[in-house]
Structure 1
C-alpha cells in the first residue's frame, strides 16, 4: 500500500532512498540471526534427546550390572537427590540462554558395613542420571527461549521483507513519477511561454 501522506518532493525522495538502503542493510543481519538461533535450537533438541537417552541408559546399565537391586531388603530410596543446580548464561545472537555450570547432589549417609559394597556403584549411576536429567531440562528451557526469539526475529524479517521494503519502493516510484511529470510540465510550460513571447514580439 502506498503511503498517501508521503510528500512528493526531492528531499522526501532522498529520505525514502536512505530508508530503503537502511532496510536492505538490516535484513541480512536479521536473516543471519535467525539462522544462528535455528542452529542453536536444533543443537538443544539433539542435547535433550542425548541427555535423556544417556540418563535412561545409566539407570538401565546400573540395573543390568547390579542384579542385587532386586533385593527388597536393601533400601535405596532417597540414596541420591538433587539439592541445587548452579546456572550461568550464554549469549547467542543477542539472546541470553541458561547454561548448567554445576549441580549439587546429596548422597544419604550409609555405612560401608551396613550396606553391600556395590551400593557405591549404584550411587555413582544415580548421580550421573540426575545430572543428565538436569542437563536435559536446561536444554528444554533453551529451546523455549530460542523459539520465542525466533518468532520475534521472523516477525521483524517479515515486516522488512513484506511491508517496509515494498512500501518504500512504491513510495520512491510514486515520487519519481510525480517529479518527472512536474519536470516535463515545467519544460512544456517554458516552451509555450517562450513561443508566446516570440509571437508577441513579432
Structure 2
C-alpha cells in the first residue's frame, strides 16, 4: 500500500476517489445481480431440456418396443455434421447461442426397413438437438459462473477494500491537517505573547 501524502491536495484527491468508488459500486452490484438472475434462468432452461430428454426417452421406450430387436440394422441413422453457433453479449459476458444443428439422415430403403424407422429417425433428430442444447446450457453456465465470480470480486474490492481504505485515508489526512492548523494557531499565540512581553519590557 502506497503512503498517502497528508496534504490538502491529497485530501481532495482522496475525496474524488471516494466519490468515484461510491458511484461505481451500485452499478457493479446491479450487474452482479443481473448476471445471477440470468444464471438462474439458464439453470431453469437446463432443467427443462433435461426434462424434455427424459420425456422423449420414455416416449420412444413406450412407442417403439421393437427397438429391442437386434436383427434390424439401425446404427448411424442420424448424425451431427456440425453446429451453427452465434454469440450473445450479456452485460459484457459473451455467451454462445445455438443457431442451428446440421443433421445428416442416412438414406434407407422404405421397403427394406420397417415403417416405424421414420418415427425413430425423427426421435433421434430431436434427441441430438436436445443434447446439443444441454451441452450449450452447460457451457453458458460455466461462463456465467465465471462472470459472477469476477464481478463479485470487484464488488468486494470496492466495498471491503477501496472504500474503507479511502475513508480511513481521508480521516487520517483531516486529523493531520486539523492538528497542523491547531499547532500553527498555538505557535502564533505564543509568538504574539512573546512580542507583547518584549514590547512591554
TM-score by length of structure 2 reads 0.94
Aligned partner (choices 19, 32, 35) of residue 33 of structure 2: 35
Q: Structure 1 residue 171 and structure 2 residue 178: aligned?
A: no
Question: After superposition, where does 1:107-146 map in structure 2 within 5 Å?
Answer: 107-146=105-144
- Consecutive unaligned residues of structure 2, counting only runs of 5 or more, are none
What is the rounded CA distance, in whole Å, between the counterparts of 2:192 and 2:129 in structure 1? 91
SS of 1:12 mapped into structure 2: helix
Aligned-residue offset at 1:74: 2.2
What is the rounded CA distance, in whole Å, between the counterparts of 2:147 and 2:2 in structure 1? 34
- Consecutive unaligned residues of structure 1, counting only runs of 5 or more, are none
Indicate if the aligned counterparts of 1:87 and 1:98 stay in contact, CA closer than 8 A.
Answer: yes
Aligned-residue offset at 1:77: 1.4
Indicate if the aligned counterparts of 1:55 and 1:130 stay in contact, CA closer than 8 A.
Answer: no
Moved over 3 A (4+): none
Report what 1:151 is aligned to. 149
Indicate if the aligned counterparts of 1:59 and 1:126 stay in contact, CA closer than 8 A.
Answer: no
Q: Residues 87-137 of structure 1, C-alpha deviation per residue, up to 9 Å, x if partnerless? A: 000111111010100001111101112112221111111111110110010
Q: Residues 27-78 of structure 1, C-alpha deviation per residue, up to 9 Å, x if partnerless? A: 1111111112211222222222221221232122122122332333322211
Report what 1:104 is aligned to. 102
More displaced, 174-183 or 143-152?
Answer: 143-152
Question: After superposition, where does 1:1-202 map in structure 2 within 5 Å?
Answer: 5-202=3-200
User: Pairwise CA RMSD of aligned residues?
Assistant: 1.4
What is the rounded CA distance, in whole Å, between the counterparts of 2:124 and 2:84 in structure 1? 19
Aligned-residue offset at 1:4: 6.8
TM-score by length of structure 1 reads 0.93
| Alignment: residue pair count | 200
Indicate if the aligned counterparts of 1:20 and 1:165 stay in contact, CA closer than 8 A.
Answer: yes
Q: Give the 3 Å change call, closer, same or farther, for CA 182–4 of structure 1 in structure 2.
A: farther
